[in-house]
Amino acid sequence: MSISTRLKTLLDQNKIPYSVMPHQASYTAQGTAATMQIAVQELAKTVVLFAGDEMILAVLPGQKHVKLHKLGVELGKPVRLASELEFNNRFPDCEPGAMPPIGSLYNLPVYFDESLADDAEIVFNAGTHHDAIRMRYDDFVRLVKPKICSLA
């Protein structure tokens, strides 16, 4: 499997320059960063959550964890981690746990940790455990239109 066709089509249609970064299969942000030989804070990981009854995506640096209570205060409703069983069918073109942080592909809002804005580029899973995408941060924000907040 290479990058999701849906993801490739979206990036190409929006004329977003990006590079595909193949790497050894990895199932954690720390492991992926190590196989790619980048710092773990350069890798943006996607976490699926529920804010009340609504499924959302949180995007944060690979070494950090979502502060559920903090995000809940920001959103005005309780936030909890979604189980793989709850979200697996929502990402049919992705390997479990390797979904990209582009909510429009799956009709989900995206909440983006403000610390990721410090970098000129963003690297994230491309729908598989052995492919990543690198693109400019500004292009990502223009495409995804995430709500930027402090959530990690």
Taking the C-alpha atoms of residue 7 and residue 83, their distance in angstroms, rounded to an integer, is: 23
Taking the C-alpha atoms of residue 23 and residue 81, their distance in angstroms, rounded to an integer, is: 27
- Which residue range forms the structural domain that includes residue 50? 5-149
Successive 10-residue mean pLDDT values, the chain, 152 residues: 84 95 81 74 90 96 92 96 93 90 96 90 90 94 95 90
pLDDT for the residue 59: 96
pLDDT for the residue 1: 47
pLDDT for the residue 46: 94
pLDDT for the residue 123: 92
Nearest Cα residue to 123 out of 108, 109, 137 = 137
pTM of structure: 0.91
Neighbouring CB atoms inside 10 A of 81's CB total: 14
What secondary structure does DSSP assign to 53-120, as a single string? TEEEEEEEETT----HHHHHHHHTS-EEEPPHHHHGGG-TTS-TT---S-GGGTT--EEEEGGGGGSS
Domain with residue 62: its CATH number is: 3.90.960.10
Neighbouring CB atoms inside 10 A of 14's CB total: 10
Number of domains making up the chain: 1
Tell me, what DSSP letter sits at residue 119? S
